[in-house]
Amino acid sequence: KDKLTEILRRCHYTGIFDAECLIGKDNEIYFLEINFRNSAWGYAYTYGGINLVYYWAKCMLEGPEGMKECKYRKEPFTAMSELADLSTIAHMPDVSYITWLRQFMECDCPYYYNKNDKLPFYHAMWYKFKTAIKHKILAALGKYKYSRH
């Protein structure tokens, strides 16, 4: 936390951001990156009852007093960036598609799927499927090799 604060201070950054970390098999926390923007994870705040951009602006004008009226969801909930997760599990042998599907079905706050507007989710899934098939064909032809950063 102190190192992250120092990075933000050195950049003279004020605004909404997120920091991505990874918990290793050794249970250590490893810093990955800072996104100097309101990322997709901001949707979970909205689901939790917090308009992140509104309260950031309010606190910039009023200081910590700006959060006094904030009423947020008290009970815990699960959020899932389901398309990113689905792409990742193909490379994680310890997570099955059945486990992913169960977690997706139980998820309170999926980022793409909306039962009242399913078309964007289906379109994104179709695009992911087409891309995966294209990569498999190119790999079989020796013209594509998947690599992680």
Burial (CB count within 10 angstroms: exposed 0-12, middle 13-18, buried 19+), residue 86: buried
Q: Which among 22, 17, 24, 41 is positioned nearest to 32, based on CA atoms?
A: 22
For residues 104 and 98, is the Cβ–Cβ distance under 8 A? Answer: no
Q: What is the pLDDT of residue 88?
A: 77
Mean pLDDT of 60-65: 92
Q: Which among 52, 99, 104, 48 is positioned nearest to 76, based on CA atoms?
A: 48
Residue 3 has pLDDT above 50, yes or no: yes
Q: DSSP state, 64?
A: G
- Bridge partners of 35, per DSSP, are 18
Question: Which single residue is written with the structure tokens 């009970």?
Answer: 75
- The number of angstroms, rounded, from the C-alpha of 110 to the middle of its chain's C-alpha atoms is 10
7-62 pLDDT tens trace? 889 999 888 988 888 888 898 888 888 889 888 888 898 899 888 899 999 999 99
What is the spatial distance between Cα 133 and Cα 130, in angstroms, rounded to a whole number? Answer: 5
